[in-house]
Chains A and B, each alone.
Chain A
Amino acid sequence: MREISVERITEAIREMCMEANYTLSPDMQEALNRAQCTEESPLGEEILSMLAQNLKVAKEEKIPICQDTGMAVVFLEIGQDVHLSGGSLTEAVNRGVALGYKEGYLRKSVVKDPLIRENTNDNTPAVIHTEIVDGEHVKITLAPKGFGSENMSKVYMLKPADGREGVKERIVTAVKEAGPNACPPLVVGVGIGGTFEKCALLAKKALLRETGEPHPDAHIAALEQEIMKECNELGIGPAGLGGSSTVLAVHIETFATHIAGLPVAVNICCHVNRHCSREL
């Protein structure tokens, strides 16, 4: 049994809120650089060059890459041999978010009640997903999610007969409908299988994968490539103003499902696909 104080989780999350909002991970930066090299439209190329400049200014001056610094989505993988001490885990996470968003001059974008809509003024609560895993470590992943792209995400409950083609068609349609609203070039997170909520969670987790890293199963990796190609033939382009860079990567995660179902979730993310991880 290893004891870890929840204070360490607060501290890690406080720092990660700032890190994620000022700096994109190297894999995302490389994906954007690659797009700039291959973009066919001159305007699209110019927009990608603006995005590169934007990342430079954000990093150097600690200005958020995007003013929508997101709702904080926190994944916690907690080793089953860990004892978390020193208070409530949920409160510790939210305290880290509140501190990070205040200290980092990040936007407070969370309303307490979805219908009454009063801002909580500290960007809490976070959306927290905990998972008990083997071992004696805690892995924290923070993914602040902007809502320009979140709003364009979809869940479909397809029929088994819809098959591979049906899945592909829905994903491409979701990207087409997202169009300029979701701030392309996009990263498309997809969950296939499981239940209604499981496929949505898989789609969200798919966004955390190293950008462009293929799925380990060859048939899923092939599907990712086909969908990416079709999406990039839509001509939506950077900022939706035309071009060949609509999608930087398609990441699919799968899970076993019921004999009667084929759930598919598409979690659209803009080019500011922020996430960072730490292990305690």
Chain B
Amino acid sequence: MKKIITTPLTEEVTTNLTAGDIVSITGVIYSARDAAHKRMTETLAAGGALPFEIKDAVIYYLGPSPAREGQVIGSAGPTTSGRMDAYTPQLLELGLRGMIGKGKRSAEVIETMKKTKAVYFAAVGGAGALLSKHITKSEVIAYDDLGTEAIHKLYVEDFPAIVVIDCKGNSLYK
């Protein structure tokens, strides 16, 4: 049975999610991938503030294709999450509660998720045209110069995902 969840994603919600749960996500989420993660980390190191409220936020590892006129966004499926592992523990410590991507995570990320009660969702890789239909608003809020890698504030409705790593560290991946 599908679990309906909304963002911001609270600890109360994540502690009730188990690896294997099929979820539907509605609310604001933020896109960020390699270059945006690097820049966020550099910003933090320089004593700056992140471009969005990280507490209870959900990051979608996404670099969309461009939108045609009249479209909200182009193709919008997940990228491989493991490339963000080097940057993720720091964001989790700051309150990042959910991540949407595809593929394996490092032991360090999973340990930090257990500590901070965060969850990792998989969206279906290579289904970007279909997933784009669940994104109803998209706005670049930071790092515009990075093109597809800019941070987009997205509003998603009934976005389909699967809990692959829960906040107890259980993983659906073998």
Chain A contacts of B74 at CB under 8 A?
Answer: 63-64, 67, 105, 107
Instruction: Summarize A's interface: helix, strand, loop or mixed.
Output: loop
Q: Name which residue of chain B comes closest to A119, CB basis.
A: B147
Distance A66 CA – B76 CA, assembled complex (angstroms): 7
A62 vs B75: C-alpha distance in the bound complex, in angstroms?
10
Chain B min CB distance to A230 (Å) = 15
How far is the CB of A86 from the nearest CB of chain B, in Å? 30
Instruction: Determine if B148 and A179 form an interchain contact, defined as CB atoms under 8 angstroms apart.
Output: no
Residue of A nearest to B162 (CB): A241
A109 within 8 A of B: yes
- Complex Cα distance A98/B127, Å? 24
Q: Which residues of B contact A66 (CB under 8 A)?
A: 75, 77, 125-128
Q: CB of A192 within 8 A of chain B?
A: no
Contacts of B127 in A (CB 8 A): 50-51, 53-54, 66
A257 at the binding interface (Cβ < 8 Å): no
Q: Please give me the residue from chain A that is nearest to B69 by CB atom.
A: A105
Size category, B interface: 35 or more
A residues sitting closer than 8 Å to B (CB atoms) are 43, 47, 50-51, 53-55, 57-58, 61-69, 105-109, 117, 119, 121, 148, 151, 179-183, 235-236, 239-242, 270-272
Q: Within 8 Å CB of A148, what residues of B?
A: 79-80, 102-103, 125
Residue in B65, B79, B130 whose CB lies within 8 Å of A106: B65
B66 surroundings in chain A (CB, below 8 A) = 105-107
Contact B172 A181 (CB under 8 A): no
Cα of A239 to Cα of B66 in the assembled complex, Å: 24
Q: Does B50 contact A (CB under 8 A)?
A: no
Query: Does B67 touch A at the CB level, under 8 Å?
Result: yes
Measured between beta carbons, the chain A residues less than 8 angstroms from B174 are 179, 235-236, 242
Which residues does chain B contribute within 8 Å of A63, judged by CB atoms? 65, 71, 74-75, 128-129, 132
Interface centre among B63, B103, B172 (most CB of A within 10 A): B103
- Residue contact A240 to B65, C-beta cutoff 8 Å: no
